[in-house]
């Protein structure tokens, strides 16, 4: 059991309970525990090509075992990250030393999390939201381009049912990030933000709830002032982005009007 990632996955909850029962031991045990958890978050499974059975490459059963263990490792790390976010409020000074490493480990975990491991990715997104809404958000600022990649946040090639689960949380997390980092965005990055949330409003294939579309509208409106006062050498870049935002919102109103007309026709029939 000492070598089981599944056992390790259950440990953070047990440790949390022990700390609640014995608060006197918190102060002396938290700093070394944080150090161990940060080292655990930095671990990555070795490349499949580097693993062999003697002089031969892995057979099919060995490959299945490898991918199973890799998924279990990421799940244990996601639980560890959730436990770290639990410690944010009471032990922020101890965690502050690891601010940049914590952000980098979160981004790396999202990139290595298997795309079919939906529950783990959801847990990573929840933990990321907690970090973005704390003083530790600045560690993520250098990872803007990574976090503006939807494939990193929500994985790629998901089936429709999986999109329904991950996309609302993924876009809400991205909106939180944009809210904090928007004064630092270049016009190229701002254009990417507008493209993402404009598609959220108009891509009917996503089947997103209205709350996520409201989030998209708020995000687009929140960057208008930043774009208007941008310092880009080419003023046309900012104008084009503002026009795209305006067109997105006007087109959405037109789509809602058409939908309302269809509803009214249905009622008359």
Q: What's the rounded Cα separation, in Å, for the pair 121 and 115?
A: 8
Tell me the pLDDT tens digit for each residue of 232-261. Answer: 889 899 999 999 999 999 999 988 888 777
What's the pLDDT tens digit per position in 56-88?
777 788 788 888 888 999 999 999 999 899 888
First CA to last CA distance, the chain:
66
189-242: pLDDT as tens digits: 999 999 999 999 988 777 788 899 999 999 999 999 999 999 888 989 999 999
> Greater confidence, 153 or 1?
153
Q: How confident is the model at residue 17 (pLDDT cuts 50, 70, 90)?
A: confident
Backbone angles phi, psi at 57, to 5 degrees: -70, 165
Give CA–CA dist 169/177, Å, rounded.
12
Answer with the residue of higher pLDDT: 63 or 262: 63
pTM: 0.86
Let me know: does 187 contact 238? Beta carbons within 8 Å. yes
Burial of 260 from C-beta contacts in 10 A (0-12 / 13-18 / 19+) = exposed
Task: Name the burial class of residue 1, with classes exposed (0-12), middle (13-18) and buried (19+) by CB atoms within 10 angstroms of its CB.
Answer: exposed
140 compared with 262, residue with greater pLDDT: 140
- The C-alpha atoms of residue 156 and residue 217 are separated, in whole angstroms, by 24
- Grade residue 268 by pLDDT with cuts at 50, 70 and 90: low
Kindly write down the DSSP assignment for every residue of 197-253, as one continuous string.
HHHHHH-GGG---HHHHHHHHHHHHHTHHHHHT---S-HHHHHHHHHHHHHHHHHHH
Give residue 244's pLDDT. Answer: 96
- pLDDT band at residue 12 under the 50/70/90 scheme: confident
Residue 52 has phi, psi (to 5 degrees) of: -145, 160
């Amino acid at each position: 059991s000492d070598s089981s990632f599944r056992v390790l996955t259950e440990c953070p909850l047990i440790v949390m309970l022990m700390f609640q029962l014995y608060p006197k031991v918190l102060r002396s045990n938290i700093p070394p525990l944080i150090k161990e958890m940060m080292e655990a978050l930095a671990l990555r499974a070795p490349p499949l090509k580097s693993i062999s059975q003697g002089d031969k490459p892995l057979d099919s059963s060995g490959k299945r075992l490898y991918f199973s263990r890799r998924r279990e490792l990421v799940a244990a790390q996601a639980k560890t990250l959730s436990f770290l976010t639990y410690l944010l409020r009471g032990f922020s000074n101890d965690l502050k030393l690891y601010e940049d490493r914590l952000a980098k480990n979160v981004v790396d975990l999202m990139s290595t999390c298997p795309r079919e491991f939906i529950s783990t990715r959801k847990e990573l997104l929840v933990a990321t939201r907690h970090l973005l809404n704390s003083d530790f958000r600045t560690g993520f600022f250098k990872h803007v381009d990574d976090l503006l990649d939807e494939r990193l946040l929500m994985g790629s090639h998901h089936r429709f049912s999986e999109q329904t689960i991950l996309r609302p949380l993924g876009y809400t997390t991205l909106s939180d990030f944009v809210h904090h980092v928007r004064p630092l965005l270049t016009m190229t990055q701002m254009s990417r933000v507008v493209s993402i949330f404009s598609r959220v409003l108009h891509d009917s294939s996503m089947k997103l709830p209205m709350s996520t579309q409201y989030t998209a509208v708020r995000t687009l409106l929140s960057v208008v002032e930043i774009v208007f006062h941008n310092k880009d050498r080419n003023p046309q870049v900012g104008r084009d982005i503002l026009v795209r935002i305006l067109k997105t919102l006007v087109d959405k109103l037109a789509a809602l009007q058409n939908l309302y007309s269809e509803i009214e026709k249905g009622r008359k029939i």
